[in-house]
Chains A and B, each alone.
Chain A
Amino acid sequence: GQNIDQPTEMTATEGAIVQINCTYQTSGFNGLFWYQQHAGEAPTFLSYNVLDGLEEKGRFSSFLSRSKGYSYLLLKELQMKDSASYLCAVINSNYQLIWGAGTKLIIKP
């Protein structure tokens, strides 16, 4: 089968750094997405990785290791507005998008 694993919930402190991990087992790989979803809202696109390495976008960075089937999303200088669920999704060899269940991130003052 195909699956994506993420922690269900994480807690971090405002101003700190948090790393959200995602491991995947899929039939092939054509890219990995990270989305942010605030409660009651639609997911919004954060990042796309298709090659190994780190992609940085302001306070958010995403890392990919295809050989390990592993990615992480790194959030720096956490703000209260970063409280949300973070969804990892992988495109497999059939160009199907496989979604993880998401990680709920709770930011405490």
Chain B
Amino acid sequence: SQTIHQWPATLVQPVGSPLSLECTVEGTSNPNLYWYRQAAGRGLQLLFYSVGIGQISSEVPQNLSASRPQDRQFILSSKKLLLSDSGFYLCAWTSGRASDTQYFGPGTRLTVL
């Protein structure tokens, strides 16, 4: 069966510090991978998605970036965090067919102070 991991689970970072969040998927190959952010009490905002190694599409211009160095690894980064980057970051995967169900990792709660 497929499993998706995210770490860390929680993170408190000062404004201006760098960020690296990691997501890995097990039990599947060539997944589509997604990064979302959810502000408190709000819906999901798609940040990035990837259909393959090195292929990243950005949905929202911001100070975040994403990379996919391996087939089942997806990394979200920032060089300098802003207060507005606080939120719940979720990684998701699908099997590669666009209409497939998205399955989410446990998420990372980021607080920028």
Chain A positions within 8 Å of B, measured between CB atoms, are 30-31, 33, 40-45, 48, 50, 87, 91, 95, 97, 99-102
Task: Determine, out of B60-68, B72-80, B104-112, the stretch whose residues face the partner at the interface.
Answer: B104-112
Contact of B99 among A87, A95, A101 (CB under 8 A): A95
12 new A-B contacts, CB < 8 A, other than A33-B101, A45-B102, A50-B99, are: A30-B99, A31-B99, A42-B105, A42-B107, A43-B90, A44-B104, A48-B101, A91-B99, A97-B102, A99-B44, A99-B46, A102-B43
Distance in Å from the Cβ of B28 to the closest Cβ of chain A?
15
Distance in Å from the Cβ of A1 to the closest Cβ of chain B?
15
Contact of A43 among B42, B46, B99, B104 (CB under 8 A): B104
- Residue contact B107 to A101, C-beta cutoff 8 Å: no
- Secondary structure class of chain A's binding surface, majority of residues: loop
Contacts of B101 in A (CB 8 A): 33, 45, 48
Contacts of A99 in B (CB 8 A): 43-44, 46
- Residue contact B106 to A41, C-beta cutoff 8 Å: yes
Chain B positions within 8 Å of A, measured between CB atoms, are 42-44, 46, 90, 98-99, 101-107, 109
Contacts of A95 in B (CB 8 A): 98-99
Contacts of B105 in A (CB 8 A): 42
Cα A37 to Cα B99 in complex, Å, equals 21
Contacts of B103 in A (CB 8 A): 45
